[in-house]
Structure 1
Amino acid sequence: MELTIAICDDDKTHVEIIKEYINRTTIDYEPKIIEAYSGEELLELTKNMHIDVIFLDIEMKQLNGIETGKRIREMYEDTMIIFLTGYKNYALEAFQLESFQYIIKPITYEKFCDLIQKICTRFKEKEAYSSINKTFSFKIKEGIVRLKYEDIYYFERQGKKIYVSTQVGNYEFVDTLKSIEESLDKNIFLRCHQGFIVNIDKLSNIKDNQLMLSGIEQSIPISRKYKKDILYALEKKLFY
């Protein structure tokens, strides 16, 4: 599984050090590294991208790390923020933002290895919690939306946005079907078309290459590429 990690520091040398540490360390996830050299740049990147972990410098020009962290926390309450600084006097503010760690520079590779293992442990705990509670989360203009798996009918790609149909309302948000497919439990959700992912538990029938879901009248197209998987899922639902 992919772990999206952002490094934000106005000193490129510090960014390169953290990036090199990440690449040297063996972890259980595939790291996707995002670089930003100001708080403003990081916030721009997070508009359309959920970031799992942020290494965030505090002393930066214009928008400092504390203010950047506040804005990140308003958008994503589950992002792990690790503050990196040469000063101790921001610790209280970092604590109030529920930061994961507050580290005084310079950080050695040995300390970083300990830190990255703690991050992975926390991430596994989040995954376990998510699997038990079976929810899917995404960001819209008004904030974070969390949907129970059992409430979701299907996801549909509409241009650069994703439309999700649910029992509790319909939503649009920016993401890709590929990213969504990778994050969902494949025992519950299946790709049935280049532009659709459906909840297997909602399957009721197939008619003329159209998929019928319990609870809604709209039919969902099935492409030849995915039809075999959908038929198998429907058979399991009906006969097992």
Structure 2
Amino acid sequence: MKLNIAICDDDKAHVGIIKDYINKTNISYDTQIFEAYSGEEMLELIKNTHIDIIFLDIEMKELNGIETGKKIRETNEDTIIIFLTGYKDYALEAFQIESYQYIIKPITYEKFNILMQKILTRLKEINAYKNINNSFIFKAKDGIVRLKYKWIYYFEGQGKRVYVSSEVGNYDFIGTLKSVEISLNKNMFLRCHRGFIINTERLLNVKDNQIMLFDVEQLIPIGRKYKKDVLNVLEKKLFECNR
């Protein structure tokens, strides 16, 4: 698993300390560290990059850490936020944002290492939960079917039936595309047309008003009101590939 960690602090020396602590810590993941020196820079970073852990300083100019944390929470429910501060005054606000920890600076490596081991344990719990729940379960005519998200190409709605195209076969069941959309992982699936939901991990290209998916011959139409969302997802994936 790849682990993206961000440090956001307007004090470059403190960013360096936390970065050194991370590099000294035994982390059994492929880890990439990102640095941001303002709240605004942090918010720009998360637009195109999923961050698993953020060490976020509170006392920053213009957009402070509390306000930055609130904006991060609007779009990133699972990101673990650790607030860093020289004061105890912000504890209640940090708690309201559902931060994982609130640390008074300076922090020693010994304390940091203990904290990181707790965070890594928490991440394993989150990933174990996701592995269980990263499946779409439905009742087909031959019985109950469970498809892992990564197997699914797209869903197509036709009247009162939904058709599922996947790498392990094609299925259909009674239902609506709206109810399917509500149940899916929003980070992985995208409504691109009133009649289609695609797996964004399969997104290959967009040409005119059609989508090409990996390993899928059929071209998927794009509805006018969904085109901006589709292009944003494609741009994000191209950015991640070129990093």
Task: Identify the TM-score tier after normalising by the shorter chain.
Answer: 0.5 to 0.7
Matches within 5 A, 1:45-124: 45-124=45-124
Partner Cα separation in structure 1 for residue 122 and residue 47 of structure 2: 24
1:3 corresponds to = 3
Deviation at 1:175, TM superposition (A): 3.6
Deviation at 1:4, TM superposition (A): 0.2
What amino acid is aligned across from residue 109 of structure 1 in structure 2? Y
Deviation at 1:2, TM superposition (A): 1.2
What amino acid is aligned across from residue 156 of structure 1 in structure 2? L
What amino acid is aligned across from residue 176 of structure 1 in structure 2? K
Deviation at 1:177, TM superposition (A): 7.7
Calculate the aligned-residue CA RMSD, in Å. 3.0
Partner Cα separation in structure 2 for residue 98 and residue 163 of structure 1: 39
For structure 2, which runs of at least 5 residues remain unmatched after alignment? Answer: 136-148, 151-184, 190-196, 214-218
2:186 corresponds to = 145
- Indicate how the Cα distance of structure 1 residues 58 and 29 shifts in structure 2: closer, same or farther if over 3 A, else same: same
- Indicate how the Cα distance of structure 1 residues 177 and 125 shifts in structure 2: closer, same or farther if over 3 A, else same: farther
SS at structure 2 position matched to 1:59? coil
- Give the TM-score normalised by structure 1: 0.63
Partner Cα separation in structure 1 for residue 133 and residue 62 of structure 2: 40
Aligned length: 168
- Indicate how the Cα distance of structure 1 residues 48 and 179 shifts in structure 2: closer, same or farther if over 3 A, else same: closer
Deviation at 1:128, TM superposition (A): 0.3
2:24 corresponds to = 24
Deviation at 1:158, TM superposition (A): 2.4
> Sequence identity, in percent?
62
For structure 1, which runs of at least 5 residues remain unmatched after alignment? Answer: 138-143, 181-240
Deviation at 1:64, TM superposition (A): 0.2
SS at structure 2 position matched to 1:87? coil
Establish whether residue 37 from structure 1 lines up as the match of residue 98 from structure 2. no
| CA shift digits 1:30-79 (9 cap, x unpaired) | 21000000001111111111100000000001100000000000010110
Deviation at 1:178, TM superposition (A): 11
Q: Is the 8 A contact 2:48 2:239 kept in 1?
A: no
- Indicate how the Cα distance of structure 1 residues 178 and 14 shifts in structure 2: closer, same or farther if over 3 A, else same: closer
Deviation at 1:86, TM superposition (A): 0.4
What amino acid is aligned across from residue 203 of structure 2 in structure 1? E
What amino acid is aligned across from residue 67 of structure 2 in structure 1? E
Structure 1 consecutive aligned stretches of length 4 or more whose deviation exceeds 6 Å: 162-166, 177-180
1:157 corresponds to = 204
Partner Cα separation in structure 2 for residue 145 and residue 163 of structure 1: 20
Partner Cα separation in structure 1 for residue 128 and residue 240 of structure 2: 19
Partner Cα separation in structure 2 for residue 12 and residue 177 of structure 1: 30
Q: Is the 8 A contact 1:157 1:177 kept in 2?
A: no
Deviation at 1:179, TM superposition (A): 6.6
1:200 corresponds to = none
Q: Is the 8 A contact 2:48 2:240 kept in 1?
A: no
